Amino acid sequence: MWNEVIKVLETDYVMIAVPVFLIALLLEWRWAKGQAHKVYDSGDLRVSLGVMILTVAIDVAPKILALMLMFVCYQASPFKGTISTAWYWWITLFFLDDFIYYWHHRLNHEVRILWAGHVPHHNSEHYHFGTALRQGVCERVLKYFFWMPLPLLGFHPLMVVSMLSFSLIYQFWLHTQSVSKLSPILEFIFNTPSHHRVHHASNPCYLDRNHGGTLIIWDRLFGSFAEESEKHPPRYGVTRPLSKQTVVAAAFEEYSQLAADMGRAKSLRYKLAYLFMAPGWSHDGQDKRSKTLRTRIL
């Protein structure tokens, strides 16, 4: 099993794409210098790159353990050997992977303990390719478990991890203000920079919308879609800004805020509610969950 895990780790398409990411970032940075509004902030970019390095370091152990578990699931699958690398199985895997990603991503926004791990990707008040590199840090600890059904269904772990990588590579280009809306048919089916700008916005009308990875159809089907509007330019960041612009604060501050909220709760019921209710829920204060804020403005 160990040799198979190493083989998968060696086939890391995201790491292969890193030079392309950095070149794209430099090109966008040059474009941003000619814009009327400020796109890049040097301090914010340093934090984003620091969070990226921290995420890569923390991701090693969970990824290895997850791969080992994937191989265990694959070996135990009653469908092992029935799924090949034929094109139709790759297409099937693409839709299954994107469907899982949608629910994984949506739950990261709707469950407070998961949000604490995902929030580093959102707490920048700037939106550019550097933000794409600012991934959730502790999100990695639980992320891979959502994909365990795929090897149980008979998909080889190498196929599963490859599809995860392709999805992440696709999502990189979504993090830009340099691309306006595309053709209506593309905007209807695929996740685009316009749709993802909505996802990163803190405007109440945009909060917790557009969770799709490659496709936007899941948001349309499950009621979490919002269109970018010129009347409401996106304000990037989170509703409770960081207390300071450091890597440690960006990566871990939400955990300290969660602990403080749990400390205020007197009963075990409320303490657990802080873990599993949506961000913004409070047992003794104003409800600031996204759905509540949207209801107020409507």
Average pLDDT across the chain, whole number:
94
- pLDDT over 70 (residue 22): yes
CA neighbor of 101 nearest in space, from 48, 164, 149: 164
The pLDDT-based confidence of 295 (bands split at 50, 70, 90) is confident
- pTM recorded for the entire structure: 0.95
Q: For a pLDDT cut of 70, what percent of the chain falls above it?
A: 100
Question: Are 253 and 116 contacting, i.e. CB atoms less than 8 angstroms apart?
Answer: no
DSSP β-bridge partners for residue 190: 215
Give the pLDDT of residue 298: 66
- Read off the pLDDT band of 10 (50, 70, 90): confident
Contact predicate 126/41, CB 8 Å: yes
d(CA 160, CA 66): 12
Residue 87 one-letter amino acid:
W
Residues 32-65 have pLDDT tens digits of 998 988 999 999 999 999 999 999 999 999 999 9
CA distances (Å), origin 7, targets 2, 15, 17, 175: 9, 14, 18, 30
Instruction: Domain ranges for the chain, please list them.
Output: 2-221
Non-local CB neighbours of 186 within 8 Å, separated by 6+ positions: 192
Check if the beta carbon of residue 193 is closer than 8 Å to that of residue 214. Answer: no
> Long-range contacts of range 290-298, CB-CB < 8 Å, 24 or more positions apart?
290/109, 290/204, 290/207, 290/208, 291/208, 293/204, 293/207, 293/239, 294/204, 294/205, 294/207, 296/204, 297/204, 297/205
The CB-side HSE value for 209 (13 A sphere, CA atoms) comes to: 22
Q: How far apart are CA 80 and CA 262, in angstroms?
A: 44
The Cα 34–Cα 3 span in angstroms is 50
User: Which of 27, 22, 52 shows the shortest CA–CA distance to 120?
Assistant: 52
